[in-house]
Amino acid sequence: MKRRNFLQSSILASLGLSVAACQTNNKAPVNEEAFVDDFQLSEVTVAELQQKMKSGDLTSERIVQLYLKRIVQLDQSGPKTNAVVEVNPDALLIASALDAERKEGKVRGPLHGIPVIIKENIDTADKMITSAGSMALGNHKAQTDAFIVQKLREAGAVLLGKANLSEWANFRSTKSSSGWSSRGGQTRNPYVLDRTPCGSSSGSAVAVSANLAPLAIGTETDGSIVCPSGINGVVGIKPTVGLLSRSGIIPISESQDTAGPMARTVTDAAILLSALTGIDATDEKTKAQPADPAVYLNFDDTVLEGATIGYLSKTSAFDKRVSSIMNEVVEVLKSKGADVIDITVSDEVNQLGQYEWTILLCEFKEGIEKYLASHPECGFQTLSELIDFNKKNESKIMPWFEQEIFELANETKGLDDPKYNEAKKVCVELSRKQGIDKLMNEHKLDAIIAPTNGPAWSIDYVNGDNFGGGSSQLAAVSGYPSITVPAGNIKGLPIGVSFFGKPWTESRLIQIAHLYEKASHKRLKPEFKISLLT
């Protein structure tokens, strides 16, 4: 299935590339010759980019040119990670304007001139599409920026492009393949290309891991920031629900949705998080957020001295290889002064999933129809209309898996469904009162840790995803923060460790995660292997 040309001719010409070089399809990469990764900005940090611009070694415009060229050469050619569905045709103009500001002595902050890729379910009032990966919204251009996009522009970031994702943020089918969308095709894991990038913020995580951009934004309902971050060897922050506005983001759940930063270091993720916060009158949950986002950049190398960390060692489906990596994590934390204790949740808490499912189905129907009503340019008004469109275009939109989740959600009565309010009460009780709050209060914990993910599984369009374990649910359902950091690898496939805490404790978690990262150095640069079998 051919995708649309995603670079306009003017940008391509400036890079010495042709339109034909930007055409791609869903075929797996062919190992014609080994890929040599000699990218000039490989693994560069935000601080290093700022220093290069300050010294005059590079301009923002030149940095953007280098990343655009890499997207063409690596994402759409060579290994074909297929993470970026569309680049911003105005990226170079934006960068040039920011360079002019710098020359005049105006630097807006640490993101001034820094390229950022955002997930393709986030509204941008520019020439780019916002479709959640679906051909149904394949021509939708939002009329206004999402609130967090406004914050990005104010901070002086360059919107480099939009990342592919699991279609409808992985909320269309129970048999989906993470990282696949009808608009964008299949995103691939940069470590081993026939392996999953996890979902739904797959393109955002791969873009950062593969050095297609220094920073990216993903969204999460349950696992969609932390799983792709963990599996693709990067840092991901799933903040407290309400720390970042959700206005202008195609929704799943009012209770659980949030955007969040992805980066190759905790520091860079914290810089991006700080720029995105702000109270938004159109999102009530943001009114509870702390006032000073700069607190996320206050690092303390003594933060673990005397701290107590709870280790959820009996989380789902992880094997002894993951446990071995977590044992190393524990030893690093102890070496920095922490006391690490084993903790468990009750069997009752482990039944959380069935109630979460009810909430997601009901809130999705309500949320998506509210979004469509506020975006008449989409051309749809109801979930039923989206379902009908998918059926009429089944060969293109549903060649591998169906839309069972859409249909189940459509059968509910939305927020008026009699099962909804009861499910919300149970979820608060199990995820907060009997979950994270109880664990942290009883054991006087500074944070909770657990494995983020198992090793990436093979992409499988017949059977769908085959998750090797996850720990995202408690933080997701409670709406509390979690941060994942690279912790090791199994056969070259990254494994992450997640740090959880109470609401609005991002600053504390960031400090702990930063110190762990600094002591462990487990970020592994991808090698773009075709398969573990070759």
- CA distances for 238 relative to 261, 473, 517, angstroms: 8, 12, 17
The active-site residue, picked from 182, 204, 209, 224, is 224
Coil, strand or helix: which one is 516?
Answer: helix
Residue 336 annotated as catalytic: no
Cβ atoms of 127 and 88 closer than 8 Å:
yes
Phi, psi at 195, each rounded to 5° = -105, 155
Residue 200 annotated as catalytic: yes
- CA distances for 368 relative to 380, 404, 534, angstroms: 10, 16, 43
Closest CA to 68 of 159, 131, 151: 159
Coil, strand or helix: which one is 311?
Answer: strand
Written as one string, the DSSP assignment of 249-298 is B--S-TTT-EEEEEESSHHHHHHHHHHH----TT-GGGGGS-S-GGGGG-
The active-site residue, picked from 134, 166, 182, 200, is 200
The active-site residue, picked from 119, 238, 285, 365, is 119
Phi, psi at 415, each rounded to 5° = -70, -10
Q: How far is residue 247's CA from residue 309's CA, in Å, rounded to a whole number?
A: 34
- Which of the 8 DSSP states describes residue 242? T
Residue 498 annotated as catalytic: no
Determine whether 132 is exposed, middle or buried from the number of CB atoms within 10 Å of its CB (0-12, 13-18, 19+).
buried
Phi, psi at 180, each rounded to 5° = -105, 135
Catalytic residue IDs: 119, 200, 224
